[in-house]
C-alpha cells in the first residue's frame, strides 16, 4: 500500500470516531503538559539560581588566603593545625603580582573590621566591609533605598536594613544623615632610642621599626539602605552590616589581625590583608587562575568548588520531576491502546475487505500504527502549548505572592526549545509504542472471519 493511501485511510478513520479519538489525544496532551510543566520548573529554578549567582559576581571570583591561616570555608580552627613556615603573607606586593596574571581583571582586598558606629547619641558595635566599585552591578543592590556610592573614594556608607532599624525606627530616614565611625588605625611606631631599645629587648636585634594602634573617628554620610548582605555566602565572609567604598576603607588603615604576623615576620612596613578577591574575565578562566595562584604558594577557594555538588542536586531534581511527569503520559498511552483495540472490534469487516483486496498484514498493521502516531504527534503539540501556559501561570502566581511580601517577582519556569522538541518526540514515541499491540492484533485477523463479523 502506498504511503499516500495509508495516510488518507488513517485520517479518515480518525475523523469517523472524532470524539473518542479527540479524548484520547487530549489524554496524551495532558500527560505531555504535566511532563513539560514539571521539567520547565526544574529548568527555571536552575536558571534562576545560576542567574542570581552569576549576577553576584561569585562565579568569576577566586578567593585567596595565606596558607598559614587558611582552614577552608566554614571550618573552625583546629588544635592540630600548624602554620606553614614558608607561607607568604598577603600584602600589596602580592596584590600587584596577582593582578598581572593572565585573564585577571581585578584584585582587591577583603577589608573587614568590627568597630563602633555612633548616631544620634547611640553607639552600636557592628562589622564594616569595604566594597569595590564593581559591586554596584550586584543583585544585592536591587531595590536599594537611596543610591550606591557616588565615587570609589567617597566618604559615604550604605547600611544593612536590620542595622539601620537599630539606629532609627524608620531606616529610610537615615539616608542623607551623618554617622561617626570609631575604629583602630594601624600606624607606624615612631623611631626613637627608647622604642628601639624596647624592640631589641623583645625581638632581638635586626627587627627595627614597629606598629602602633591609634583610636580614630570618621564622619560618613549614609547614602543607601539595602535588605540583603552582598558579602554573604562564600568562604565565611558574610555578616557585615555597614559598607564603605573600598578605597575609603583602605585609606582608614584599620588594624587587621594579620598585622601581628607581618610584624613578627619583619614586614611591618607594609599592610597585610586577611584575604584577596581575584576577579577573572569569565567563569571558564577560574580553574586556570586558581592553579596559577596555588603555584605561588597561596590557598584558594571559588564557587565552582562548591557548585559541583549543586549541579548533582539539580540533576537528581530534574530526574525525579521527569519521572513523575511521565506517569501521566503512561496513563495516556493506556488510553491509546484502549481506543485502538476498540477500533479493531468495530472495523473487523473493513479489515477483512482490505485483506481481500490484497492488503498485506504489514499494510493493516501500519494503518493502526499510523493512527497511533498521529494521536501522539497532535497530543505532543497541544501538550507543549498547555505545559507552557501552566508554567506561565505558575510564574504569574509566584510573582503576585512575592509582591504581596514586598519582594521582586521572579520567573520560576522556563521552556527551552530542546524541552519542547523532546516532549513532542517522546509523546510520539510513546504513542507508537502503545500502538504496537493493536496493530499486531489487527494484522493477525483472518480475512474470512473478519468478513463474517457483524
Consecutive sets of 10 residues in the chain, 454 residues long: mean pLDDT of each? 69 75 82 83 76 65 73 43 56 88 88 88 89 78 85 91 89 90 76 52 50 83 85 56 90 73 55 82 83 89 66 70 70 73 70 76 79 84 90 88 78 85 86 78 71 58
> Cα(first)–Cα(last) distance of the chain, in Å?
26
DSSP, res 169: S
Long-range contacts of 10-18 (CB under 8 A, 24+ apart): 10/367, 10/370, 10/371, 10/374, 11/374, 13/343, 13/347, 13/367, 13/371, 14/371, 14/374, 14/375, 17/343, 17/346
386 shares its domain with 257: no
40 shares its domain with 157: no
Predicted pLDDT at 192: 54
- Using CA atoms, how far apart are residues 239 and 252, in angstroms rounded to an integer? 20
Predicted pLDDT at 193: 47
- Tell me which residue range forms the domain holding 198: 110-267
- Using CA atoms, how far apart are residues 288 and 193, in angstroms rounded to an integer? 50
236 shares its domain with 327: no
Domain boundary among 267, 284, 318: 267
Q: Is residue 292 part of a domain?
A: no
Q: Is residue 261 part of a domain?
A: yes
DSSP, res 272: B
Predicted pLDDT at 117: 92
260 shares its domain with 345: no
- Using CA atoms, how far apart are residues 80 and 18, in angstroms rounded to an integer? 78
Q: Is residue 275 part of a domain?
A: no
Q: What is the enclosing helix (H) or strand (E) of 126?
A: strand 122-131
Predicted pLDDT at 19: 79
Q: Is residue 279 part of a domain?
A: no
Predicted pLDDT at 21: 78
Q: Is residue 350 part of a domain?
A: yes
Predicted pLDDT at 76: 42
Q: Is residue 316 part of a domain?
A: yes
117 shares its domain with 244: yes
Please tell me the total count of domains within the chain: 2
242 shares its domain with 317: no
- Using CA atoms, how far apart are residues 287 and 293, in angstroms rounded to an integer? 10
320 shares its domain with 448: yes
Work out whether the CA dihedral 399, 403, 405, 408 comes out positive or negative.
positive
Q: Is residue 319 part of a domain?
A: yes
204 shares its domain with 348: no
129 shares its domain with 259: yes
237 shares its domain with 316: no
- Using CA atoms, how far apart are residues 362 and 373, in angstroms rounded to an integer? 16
Q: pTM for this structure?
A: 0.56
Domain boundary among 209, 234, 267: 267
Domain boundary among 267, 297, 325: 267
Task: Tell me how many helices (H) and strands (E) the chain has.
Answer: 14, 11
Amino acid at each position: 500500500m502506498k504511503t499516500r493511501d495509508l495516510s488518507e485511510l488513517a485520517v479518515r478513520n480518525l475523523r469517523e470516531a472524532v470524539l473518542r479519538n479527540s479524548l484520547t489525544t487530549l489524554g496524551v496532551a495532558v500527560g505531555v503538559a504535566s511532563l513539560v510543566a514539571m521539567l520547565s520548573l526544574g529548568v527555571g529554578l536552575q536558571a534562576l539560581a545560576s542567574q542570581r549567582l552569576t549576577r553576584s559576581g561569585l562565579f568569576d571570583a577566586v578567593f585567596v588566603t595565606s596558607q598559614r591561616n587558611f582552614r577552608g570555608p566554614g571550618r573552625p580552627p583546629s588544635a592540630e593545625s600548624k602554620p606553614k613556615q614558608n607561607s607568604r603573607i598577603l600584602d600589596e606586593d602580592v596584590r600587584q603580582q596577582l593582578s598581572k596574571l593572565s585573564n585577571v581583571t581585578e584584585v582587591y582586598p577583603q577589608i573587614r573590621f568590627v568597630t563602633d558606629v555612633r548616631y544620634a547619641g547611640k553607639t552600636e558595635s557592628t562589622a564594616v566591609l569595604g566594597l569595590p566599585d564593581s559591586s554596584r552591578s550586584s543583585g544585592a543592590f536591587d531595590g536599594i533605598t537611596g543610591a550606591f556610592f557616588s565615587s570609589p573614594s567617597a566618604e559615604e556608607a550604605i547600611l544593612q536594613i536590620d542595622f539601620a532599624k537599630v539606629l532609627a525606627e524608620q531606616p529610610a530616614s537615615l539616608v542623607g544623615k551623618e554617622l561617626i565611625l570609631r575604629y583602630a588605625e594601624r600606624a607606624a611606631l615612631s623611631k626613637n632610642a627608647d622604642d628601639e631599645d624596647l624592640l631589641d629587648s623583645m625581638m632581638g636585634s635586626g627587627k627595627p621599626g614597629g606598629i602602633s594602634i591609634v583610636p580614630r573617628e570618621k564622619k560618613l554620610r549614609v547614602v543607601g539602605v539595602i535588605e540583603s548582605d552582598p558579602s554573604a555566602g562564600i568562604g565565611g565572609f558574610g555578616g557585615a552590616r555597614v559598607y564603605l567604598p573600598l578605597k575609603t576603607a583602605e585609606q582608614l588603615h584599620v588594624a587587621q589581625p594579620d598585622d601581628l604576623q607581618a610584624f613578627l615576620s619583619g614586614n611591618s612596613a607594609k599592610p597585610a590583608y586577611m584575604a584577596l578577591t581575584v576577579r577573572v574575565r569569565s567563569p571558564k578562566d577560574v580553574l586556570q587562575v586558581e592553579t596559577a595562584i596555588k603555584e605561588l604558594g597561596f590557598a584558594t577557594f571559588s564557587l565552582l568548588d562548591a557548585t559541583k555538588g549543586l549541579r548533582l542536586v539539580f540533576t537528581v531534581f530534574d530526574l525525579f520531576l521527569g519521572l513523575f511527569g511521565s506517569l501521566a503520559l503512561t496513563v495516556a498511552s493506556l488510553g491509546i491502546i484502549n481506543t485502538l483495540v476498540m477500533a479493531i472490534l468495530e472495523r473487523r469487516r473493513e479489515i477483512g475487505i482490505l485483506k481481500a483486496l490484497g492488503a498485506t498484514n504489514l499494510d493493516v498493521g501500519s494503518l493502526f500504527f499510523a493512527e497511533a502516531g498521529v494521536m501522539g504527534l497532535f497530543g505532543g503539540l497541544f501538550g507543549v502549548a498547555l505545559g507552557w501556559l501552566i508554567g506561565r501561570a505558575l510564574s504569574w502566581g509566584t510573582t503576585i505572592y512575592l509582591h504581596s511580601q514586598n519582594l521582586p517577582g521572579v520567573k520560576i519556569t522556563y521552556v527551552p526549545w530542546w524541552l519542547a522538541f523532546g516532549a513532542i518526540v517522546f509523546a510520539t514515541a510513546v504513542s507508537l509504542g502503545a500502538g504496537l499491540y493493536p496493530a499486531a492484533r489487527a494484522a493477525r485477523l483472518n480475512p474470512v472471519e473478519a468478513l463474517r463479523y457483524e
